[in-house]
């Protein structure tokens, strides 16, 4: 499920009791804050970077196809959500619809490379075959190996993708460091991005480590903290804060935006959990359930069940993956009332995000600008519509 749109199935099942379309008036329209050509311009930045890297490092006959498949993976599909969010936040901070300086474009574009690096490693961890409806990077590499042994094919594809992820990480840092931002702004941007990456890495580690723990040993705070780290920080909070900081915002503003982004990211992740149980157990691979992921939804389900129900859930989680296992787990989720409790949690997180935005040092027009982003990028909650109407 993409961060840039709500799942149609989820929306149809009432995860948000009302849909808010954003403020009617404001100093900048959403078309000005996030014009369609932003995506094109980000892709141009990335295409030029890959061309430069190819000239510098792609002269070896075996390296060139490795780089080409990496480039195709980055540029094929995706909505450039994180760079666009960063650019829009910059425009709100500057109160200007004009094109940002070159350094801001490059800094924003580096977020897409960091996103690609994380996707490559996520796909390896999850053993995913598809990403955006196309083969994952390790599958692209595997398909072009020359081994007759399938296990060696898979290992070589995984090895090449692992290194490609690291290479994308390095490309992102180089793009940021060579962005041409003024020295003081560059240091601040590098510090913000470094903290964002450290926190995201910790969140990814917690996501994996939690899967080894019994549900009884996890707390709500632990799961939500992992969600904030692994999803919010690099997808919402980081891009918003980076754009505002590059526009000249002080720490109090970036802190408020980070707090708002954290709540929206946690709400999104819980929403994503709910979308996972709306598939057909007989035909759909439901990654969270098949992988026994310690999601907030599964934790709420466990907490709401009776002792015998918890034993039944543990037994189902220990059984072989397949349609019957999915049916059993989904039936317990639905019967427990966990779906309704999760929807209530989403609403409360949106309330908290609204409060943080309303209490921020931003002026009313800037708050309206961020509300437009929340609506346009599919992150809105029922409670956000009351903020900064005047």
Per residue in 227-282, pLDDT (tens digit) is 999 999 999 999 999 999 999 999 999 999 999 999 999 999 999 999 878 777 77
Span 172-198, mean pLDDT?
97
* pLDDT tens digits along 298-333: 999 999 999 999 999 999 999 999 999 999 999 999
pTM summary value: 0.88
Q: Is the pLDDT of residue 15 over 70?
A: no
Query: Which pLDDT value is given to residue 376?
Result: 77
CA distance 346 to 352: 10
Please enumerate, as own/partner, the contacts of 70-73 that have beta carbons within 8 Å and a separation of 24 or more: 70/137, 70/164, 70/167, 70/168, 71/47, 72/140, 73/116, 73/120, 73/131, 73/136, 73/137, 73/140, 73/164
pLDDT of residue 14: 32
Q: Model confidence at 384, in pLDDT bands (50, 70, 90)? A: very low
Average pLDDT estimate for 344-353: 94
Pairing verdict, β 130-131 and 134-135: antiparallel
> Would you state the pLDDT for residue 379?
65
Contact 175, 113 (CB under 8 A): yes
Mean pLDDT of the chain: 88
pLDDT bucket at 380, cuts 50 / 70 / 90:
low
More confident residue, 157 or 144: 157
pLDDT of residue 148: 59
Rounded Cα distance between 371 and 368, Å, is 5
DSSP label of 1: -
Assign residue 77 a region (left: φ > 0; alpha: ψ between -120 and 50; beta: otherwise): left
Asked whether the predicted pLDDT for residue 16 surpasses 50, the reply is no
Q: What is the dihedral of CA 100, 101, 107, 109, to 10 degrees?
A: 60
CA 273/CA 20 separation, integer angstroms: 22
Model pLDDT, residue 146: 67
> Residue 27: which pLDDT band, with cuts at 50, 70 and 90?
low
């Amino acid at each position: 499920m993409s961060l840039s749109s709500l799942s149609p199935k989820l929306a149809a099942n009432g995860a948000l009791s009302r849909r808010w379309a954003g403020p009617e008036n404001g100093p900048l329209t959403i078309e000005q804050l996030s014009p369609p050509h932003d995506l094109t311009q980000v892709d141009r930045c990335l295409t030029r970077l890959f061309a430069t890297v190819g000239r510098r490092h792609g002269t070896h006959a075996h390296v060139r196809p490795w780089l080409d498949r990496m480039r195709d993976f980055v540029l094929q599909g995706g909505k450039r959500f994180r760079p666009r969010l960063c650019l829009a936040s910059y425009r709100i901070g500057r109160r200007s619809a004009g094109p940002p300086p070159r350094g801001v474009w490059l800094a924003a574009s580096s977020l897409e490379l960091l996103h690609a690096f994380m996707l490559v490693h996520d796909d390896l961890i999850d053993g995913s075959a598809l990403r955006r409806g196309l083969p994952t990077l390790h599958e692209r590499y595997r398909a072009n190996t020359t081994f007759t042994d399938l296990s060696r094919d898979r290992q070589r594809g995984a090895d090449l993708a692992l290194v490609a992820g690291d290479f994308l990480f390095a490309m992102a840092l180089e793009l940021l460091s060579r962005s041409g931002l003024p020295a003081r702004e560059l240091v601040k941007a590098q510090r913000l991005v470094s903290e964002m990456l450290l926190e995201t890495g910790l969140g990814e580690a917690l996501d994996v480590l939690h899967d080894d723990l019994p549900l009884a040993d996890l707390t709500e705070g632990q799961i939500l903290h992992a969600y904030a780290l692994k999803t919010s920080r690099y997808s919402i909070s980081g891009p918003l804060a980076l754009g505002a900081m590059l526009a000249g915002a002080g720490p109090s503003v970036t802190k408020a935006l980070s707090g708002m982004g954290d709540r929206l990211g946690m709400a999104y992740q819980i929403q994503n959990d709910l979308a996972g149980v709306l598939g057909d157990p007989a035909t759909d691979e439901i990654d969270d359930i098949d992988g026994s992921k310690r999601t907030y939804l599964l934790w709420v389900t466990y907490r709401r069940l009776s002792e015998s129900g918890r034993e039944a859930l543990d037994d189902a989680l220990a059984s072989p993956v397949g349609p019957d296992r999915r049916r059993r787990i989904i039936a317990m989720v639905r019967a427990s009332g966990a779906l309704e409790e999760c929807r209530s949690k989403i609403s409360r997180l949106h309330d908290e995000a609204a409060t943080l935005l309303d209490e921020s040092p931003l002026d009313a027009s800037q708050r309206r600008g961020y509300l437009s982003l929340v609506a346009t990028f599919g992150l809105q909650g029922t409670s956000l519509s009351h903020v900064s109407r005047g």
